[in-house]
Amino acid sequence: MSRKEITILEDLLSSNKKIAQDIRLYLKAKNIFSINLMSSPGSGKTSLIEKLIEELFPKHPIAVIEGDIETDLDAARIKAKGVPAWSITTGGACHLEARMIAQVLKEISEPTEFLFIENVGNLVCPASYDLGENLRFVLLSIPEGEDKPLKYPKAFLTAHCLVITKIDLIGLLSFDLEKVKEEARKINPHLAIFATSARTGQGVKELATYLLYQRKQWLETNA
Ligand SMILES: Nc1nc2c(ncn2[C@@H]2O[C@H](COP(=O)(O)OP(=O)(O)OP(=O)(O)O)[C@@H](O)[C@H]2O)c(=O)[nH]1
Ligand SMILES: [Mg+2]
């Protein structure tokens, strides 16, 4: 990358960061706790949101922003659960940016406790863009293989929580769960780690409890 390209990228990230901070303040004023979900395509982001909706909604009102390169298929899946959802189609861009989220936020008119933001399926670019979220999830599904924390460290370094998805498939594939946890924690010792299955529901209640606890803590702070 040339020096000029590096400068442009730095400017872009710093302007993204400013918008993200405004988003955090805006959402805090409305008591909306937001979660940015990052993973490779098909790791189970939408499926996990669907299961968390089953666990939390309607007692805890939810809104969802779905980022995709093309189509609003994921938003349609969320709306089918009775939850308001907005689709951001990036038209080729491999990640969401804070300015895209800012455009949608004003449309959230109902009281909301949790805002899930499903990032574009990609384990690289989304890690560099703050979306004003309070929690960042990185998902890693069993079929992707156990080397992903080592190969894509930034996603694991910047996340608060690792969700190992499709845990129902662990008996079918060679995947050393303990080794992955250990390697992920070497990159980021603060990672909370859950293993879930959208098929059997395993781990979803525990993850929902974690979210409720994190939001409660956040409501009690001024951050
Ligand atoms: N066996 C199993 N399959 C799952 C699980 N979660 C998701 N899937 C399947 O994995 C595929 C992809 O799931 P999605 O939830 O659409 O994945 P995604 O990460 O939202 O995909 P993109 O939005 O395209 O990046 C679908 O066929 C799901 O049925 C799970 O826990 N177990
Ligand atoms: Mg999806």
What are the residue ranges spanned by the domains of the chain?
3-219
pLDDT digits (tens, 9 = 90+) for 96-108: 999 999 999 999 9
Q: Given the DSSP bridges, would you call strands 85-89 and 114-118 parallel, antiparallel or unpaired?
A: unpaired
Task: Output 187 or 1, whichever has higher pLDDT.
Answer: 187
Identify the residue whose C-alpha is closest to ligand 1 atom 27.
Answer: 42
The atom of ligand 1 lying closest to the CA of 39 is 19
Strands of the 62-68 sheet, one edge to the other: 85-89, 62-68, 114-118, 33-38, 135-141, 161-165, 192-195
Residue 75's Cβ-side half-sphere holds a number of Cα atoms within 13 Å equal to 18
In this structure, of 2-11, 105-114, 133-142, the range with the lowest mean pLDDT score is: 2-11
The atom of ligand 1 lying closest to the CA of 200 is 31
Phi and psi angles of residue 140, each rounded to the nearest 5 degrees, phi first: -135, 120
User: What pLDDT, on the 0 to 100 scale, is given for residue 2?
Assistant: 82
Residue 121's Cβ-side half-sphere holds a number of Cα atoms within 13 Å equal to 14
Domain boundaries 3-219, CATH class? alpha beta
Q: How far is CA 1 from the centre of its chain?
A: 28
Residue range 15-41: mean pLDDT, rounded: 97
Between the alpha carbon of residue 47 and those of residues 11, 40, 50, 187, the distances in Å are 35, 14, 5, 27
User: What pLDDT, on the 0 to 100 scale, is given for residue 41?
Assistant: 97
Angle, CA 108 vertex, CA 164 and CA 16 arms, to 5° = 65
With a pLDDT cut of 90, the percent of the chain lying above it is 91
pLDDT over threshold 70, residue 223: no
Mutate to test the pocket of ligand 1, among 39, 40, 45, 47 (most ligand atoms within 8 A of CB): 47
With a pLDDT cut of 70, the percent of the chain lying above it is 99
pLDDT digits (tens, 9 = 90+) for 149-181: 999 999 999 999 999 999 999 999 989 999 999
Tokens describing residue 68: 């995709």
User: What pLDDT, on the 0 to 100 scale, is given for residue 85?
Assistant: 98
User: What pLDDT, on the 0 to 100 scale, is given for residue 5?
Assistant: 80
User: What pLDDT, on the 0 to 100 scale, is given for residue 12?
Assistant: 85
